[in-house]
Chains A and B, each alone.
Chain A
Amino acid sequence: MLKVRSIAAGAALVIGTFASSQALAASTLDTVKNRGHLQCGVTNGLPGFSQPDENGNWTGIDVDTCRAVAAAVLGDGKAVEFTPLTAKERFTALQSGEIDMLSRNTTWTLTRDASLGLNFAGVNYYDGQGFLINKGIGVDDASQLSGATICIQSGTTTELNLSDYFRAKGMEFKPIVFDTSEQTVQGFSAGRCDVLTSDRSQLAALRSKLADPSSAKILPNTISKEPLGPVVRQGDDQWFNIVKWVLSVQINAEELGVTQANVDDMLKSDNPNIQRLLGTDGDMGAKLGLQHDFGYEVIKHVGNYGEMYDRNVGPDTPLGLDRGLNALWTEGGIMYAPPVR
């Protein structure tokens, strides 16, 4: 009898384990609200995008994208816990429900969008792949790189772009594939490769990590399109909409001149666009399942897109990246968000 009972207990345990995995099906919004914080997947250290400082506070444009969602959902931009992930781990972490959203300079591609059970909720940085070379090898253009040894990080679109580029040009190369961007820089500075390739925004950051940054330079060529943005699981359209529209609110806020500093004054604005954005008119928040003033919270805690950009990667930061493609569409860039109405 004892035996039978222990088997029954074992079976109950097994069933319980499976049942708990079904809990994932609950709405992400409710899960986050009940938990009281957002669980956000970021890089394990990339200046300007997501990096912890000496006090353990995360900063970066990807980090701010998470904070904006937390501000919209929970009214607190600090209610975020970050999960550092390597390029290899990131999709599994999101698929398995370990994190609520992934904001880890991840390129939006058809395969990832369609076959991984994920949805890209927009673009928070338009990037492209470039080359960092040792000045000593005397090359000015990527077309002179035939025969070069190239360091890359594993699990990225970079690996495919690189191969495509060299194949199209009929050139040869030797890839050295590392697990993390730290190791990639180490390999490059140890002289294992002539060239390091990655997204251009990262190259600036990685170059700043070299012992002597002036010994290396970034080639002018951009060999690919890399739209980077936040990612959510497929099958929860409400959550997908929230992440998508929080980013759109930030871009619209920049366009309308609403900043972190003037957002309280803007509450009194009689511009209907601003009223809808900040929730003083209409019920945009309710349609997403959020508070009516979620837009106000986002701008109050994180700021508009331009502020987020300038603070983390802009010309006044160590990365010193010009807005370029990431400028608003009204200012010669391609940052364009659908209207909040």
Chain B
Amino acid sequence: MKKQTIDSRPAGPKPWYDPRVRSLFFQAVVIAFVFWGGWTLVDNTLSNMESRGISTGFGFLDESAGFAIIMSLVPYDATMSYGRTFWVGLTNTLLVSAMGVVAATILGFLIGVARLSNNWLVAKISLVYIEVIRNIPLLLQIFFWYFAVLSNLPSPRQSVDVGGTVFLNNRGLYLPEPLTQDGFGLVWGAIIVAIVAVVGLKRWAKRRQLATGEIFPTFRVGLAIVVLLPVLAYFVAGQPLVWDIPALKGFNFGGGITLIPELAALWIALSLYTASFIAEIVRSGILSVSKGQTEAAHALGLPNGLTLRLVVIPQAMRVIIPPLTSQYLNLVKNSSLATAIGYPDLVAVFMGTTLNQTGQAVEVVAITMAVYLTISLLISLFMNIYNRAVAIKER
């Protein structure tokens, strides 16, 4: 009986008439072609390079580089390897990108909110800022900040001098550098204790507010703890800090921390440019929150500031985050324009000088592309995690 049922089922189509089998077959063929194409490309490149006597491989990374770099976050000198120049370039790229992301975000949010201000002048100034900055090519803006500003600064011997400790000239901004002495560990300890205390305070205040409705001035008290506790520890430990103050030695200032003009120009240009896009994103995010939400908050008696902070911004963030991620990615990629003004980023150092001295273009370009891809994917990943955290929770 059972057997009969199976037999009575209509016979399936022949495999080559089965749409499922056919679709799988063609997908397999396409994948095979893609892999074959990729492999042929790599193989052809390698054999062509070999036949033309061009060296290949990554052995060059261990050779001594022999050239100097003006700014490095990791220890570097000319006797170190080409591999090291990669890290120098990478850290410089990450530095300017991180500085740019922070500044562009703050500035972009301020301008985006100002664009919606009821104050006519503030709104129009923001409008003009956005329309001017985002419509001029970034490269020109970088040149402007570099050459226009640079040529207006004095030479080292006529530096702008702020209280004999901070100097500004066309070689950069020189700041005193704090050098920690024995016993500074106490101050670090105090900072950690203060942060933990503030986090605890915030939780306690929230619980108390939920229970009793009373609002505790967390911000002011927290600020006092964060500032006073380390300062107290600093004096208890006997002021374990000396300042390395920059001084004119020969042609240039030595000592202290230097912010080189290339970094400053690139940072300013990237931040201002990206901020103009972020401002528009913020504006669209805020406008996407229906007016009823604001009116409801006002009806509950929330003042303007709290309405913005507690009702509008959290809902606007859901619209803001995805395009904001794209802007961060753009900023990181745009930082490669550094090479135009001589800031030693990854493209200038590694894909510039290192590529030229070794001549191994294929390897160096491949590494550099992989790095930008990795940085971008990491930013996307973190922003997606954050996006999920602020996304609407369907209950």
| Residue B52 CB within 8 A of the other chain | yes
Distance in Å: Cβ of A67 to nearest Cβ of chain B: 27
Q: How far is the CA of A151 from the CA of B341 in the complex (A)?
A: 11
Q: How far is the CA of A117 from the CA of B170 in the complex (A)?
A: 42
Distance in Å: Cβ of B80 to nearest Cβ of chain A: 11
Contact across chains for A183 and B342 when beta carbons are under 8 A apart: yes
Q: Looking across the interface, which residue of chain A has its beta carbon closest to that of B54?
A: A117
Q: Looking across the interface, which residue of chain A has its beta carbon closest to that of B79?
A: A167
Most buried by B among A7, A10, A190: A190
Given A21-B44, A115-B54, A187-B342, the answer on whether A163 and B67 have CB atoms closer than 8 Å is yes
Q: From residue 287 to 324 of chain A, which have CB atoms closer than 8 A to chain B?
A: none
Given A154-B353, A192-B261, the answer on whether A173 and B44 have CB atoms closer than 8 Å is no
| Residue A273 CB within 8 A of the other chain | no
| Residue B370 CB within 8 A of the other chain | no
From A73-81, A84-92, A217-225, A254-262, the one touching the partner chain is: A84-92
Contact across chains for B252 and A176 when beta carbons are under 8 A apart: no
Contact across chains for B155 and A176 when beta carbons are under 8 A apart: no
| Residue B51 CB within 8 A of the other chain | yes
From B231-239, B284-292, B356-364, the one touching the partner chain is: B356-364
Contact across chains for B355 and A88 when beta carbons are under 8 A apart: yes
Q: How far is the CA of A174 from the CA of B68 in the complex (A)?
A: 8
Contact across chains for A88 and B356 when beta carbons are under 8 A apart: yes
Contact across chains for A115 and B40 when beta carbons are under 8 A apart: no
Q: How far is the CA of A318 from the CA of B171 in the complex (A)?
A: 32
Given A115-B55, A117-B53, the answer on whether A176 and B249 have CB atoms closer than 8 Å is no
Distance in Å: Cβ of A71 to nearest Cβ of chain B: 28
Distance in Å: Cβ of B166 to nearest Cβ of chain A: 19
Indicate with 1 or 0, residue by residue over B255-281, a CB within 8 angstroms of chain A CB atoms. 000000110000000000000000000
Contact across chains for B40 and A18 when beta carbons are under 8 A apart: yes
| Residue A208 CB within 8 A of the other chain | no
Contact across chains for B67 and A159 when beta carbons are under 8 A apart: yes
Q: Which residues of B contact A146 (CB under 8 A)?
A: 250
Contact across chains for B250 and A190 when beta carbons are under 8 A apart: no
Query: A173 touches which one: B53, B68, B151 (CB < 8 A)?
Result: B68
Indicate with 1 or 0, residue by residue over A163-184, a CB within 8 angstroms of chain B CB atoms. 1101100000111111100010
Report 14 cross-chain contacts, Cβ distance below 8 Å, ordered by A residue.
Answer: A3-B26, A18-B40, A88-B356, A147-B251, A148-B250, A148-B252, A149-B251, A160-B357, A163-B78, A175-B70, A183-B342, A191-B150, A192-B261, A233-B52
Binding site for A on B (CB under 8 A): 26, 29-30, 33, 37, 40-41, 44, 48-49, 51-55, 66-70, 78-79, 147, 150-151, 153, 155, 170-171, 249-252, 254, 261-262, 339-342, 344, 348, 352-353, 355-359, 361
Binding site for B on A (CB under 8 A): 3, 7, 10-11, 14, 18, 21, 87-88, 91-92, 95, 111-112, 115-117, 136-137, 146-149, 151, 154-156, 159-160, 162-164, 166-167, 173-179, 183, 186-187, 190-192, 194, 233-235
